[in-house]
Amino acid sequence: DSASQEEVAKTGVSFDVATCAAGVWPPSAPTEKLILPPIAETLRQVFSNFYKAKHPGRNLSWISSLGACEVRANFSVNCFGSSSSTSSSSSTSSSSSTSSSSLTSSSSSASPAHAQEQSEEEDSPGSVHARAWPDYLFKVSESQAWILLLFNERDSMTVQEIAEATGFGSDELQRQLLALYVNKATRILLRYKDEHEERYSVNCDFQSKLRCMHVAQIQLTTHPKEEIAKVEARVSQDRDHQIDACVVRIMKAKRELRHSLLVAEVSSQLSFKCDPAMLKKRIEALIHREYLKRDDSDHNIYHYVA
């Protein structure tokens, strides 16, 4: 109705709904108890009120795992505090009546208020936030959208903090996060891990020739921890190759370099933070493979072997 449409319009989000009977699809009832962002809660409530007014006696249930969203993001110079918002999304719901009918609906979400309130200013020609940085449109699952929206308010979060803010269980959260950082082409988040905690932050250096990208869903065939271990092994191997190539490229140009200067050069050229111990290990490997050799009188100096 017009009242519901006006409430949705106030959010500034495109909102689409599809319905289906519970006896036909989906095959099982939803079990997740997620904590939604305020904008998503508002949109769901608007649709629930509209639907129940049209179909008294039916129970409406939402299935976030079947929803999809389009998230528009802008990675500014300072990254944190930049405008990042969802333009449209869909989620799945199931409803039932006395005749056991159900429906599937799509809901949408949007960014926190601060990003929406700035939109008009950012679009104006004289604005300080003129479009110097491109907007990207990411097609993600509804669950991934809820995670991404958290970073409109925080520059980084631990896994525990994300779990508490969203209500995801450990395995499901790891699956959703994996999709947001494992693929280089759509690496929206960066992952940091030490002995005490696992932390995620926005990839402020994200760049792509594409303006619209689909973030693939991760289907785990093994236990999430085993899958993550496999991914980490692949990432580690890929980084080994990048470090080797970087060291050889620098040494080929310099011919001779002290260890401290080589470390500084490599660190400035790599797109990821290189651990000194990892770099030392790769240098030793290159010496063993006879790409480099140590100076006879000073072992802190390396020579390129042509």
pTM over 0.75: no
Domain boundary among 65, 93, 109: 65
**Whether pLDDT at 84 is above 60:** no
My answer on whether 144 and 213 are in the same domain is yes
- What would the pLDDT profile of 53-71 be if each residue is shown by its tens digit? 888 888 777 777 778 888 8
Residue 284 has, within 13 A of its CA and on its CB side, a CA count of 6
My answer on whether 189 and 248 are in the same domain is no
Is residue 289 situated within a structural domain? yes
Domain boundary among 196, 219, 242: 219
Rounded Cα distance between 92 and 86, Å, is 17
- Please report the pLDDT score of residue 246 as a whole number: 92
Is residue 98 situated within a structural domain? no
My answer on whether 187 and 250 are in the same domain is no
- What would the pLDDT profile of 141-178 be if each residue is shown by its tens digit? 988 999 999 998 888 999 999 999 999 888 888 889 99
Is residue 99 situated within a structural domain? no
My answer on whether 163 and 234 are in the same domain is no
Is residue 108 situated within a structural domain? no
Is residue 75 situated within a structural domain? no
51-55, 198-202, 222-226, 239-243: segment of lowest average pLDDT = 222-226
Nearest CA among 129, 110, 93, 124 for reference residue 42: 110
- What would the pLDDT profile of 236-272 be if each residue is shown by its tens digit? 888 888 999 999 999 999 999 999 999 999 988 887 7
Distances (CA, A) of 226 to 172, 223, 231, 233: 14, 5, 9, 11
Is residue 32 situated within a structural domain? yes
My answer on whether 197 and 256 are in the same domain is no
- What would the pLDDT profile of 18-38 be if each residue is shown by its tens digit? 777 676 666 565 556 788 888
Averaged pLDDT of the chain: 76
Nearest CA among 169, 151, 156 for reference residue 65: 169
Q: What dihedral angle (degrees, nearest 10) is formed by the CA atoms of 32, 35, 40, 43? A: 70
- Please report the pLDDT score of residue 120 as a whole number: 35
> Do strands 14-15 and 84-96 pair parallel, antiparallel, or not at all (unpaired)?
parallel
**Whether pLDDT at 129 is above 50:** no
What CATH number did the domain enclosing 151 receive?
3.30.230.130
Is residue 95 situated within a structural domain? no
My answer on whether 140 and 213 are in the same domain is yes
What CATH number did the domain enclosing 267 receive?
1.10.10.10
Q: Kindly report the backbone phi and psi dihedral angles of residue 33, in degrees, each rounded to the nearest multiple of 5, phi listed first.
A: -125, 80
- Number of compact structural domains in the chain: 3
Residue 56 has, within 13 A of its CA and on its CB side, a CA count of 0
Domain that holds residue 230: 222-302
- What would the pLDDT profile of 92-118 be if each residue is shown by its tens digit? 444 443 222 222 233 343 333 333 333
Distances (CA, A) of 302 to 105, 169, 284: 64, 50, 11
**Residues in CB range of 120: below 8 A, 6 or more apart:** none
My answer on whether 249 and 296 are in the same domain is yes
Rounded Cα distance between 57 and 49, Å, is 12
Is residue 242 situated within a structural domain? yes
CB–CB of 216/240 below 8 Å? no
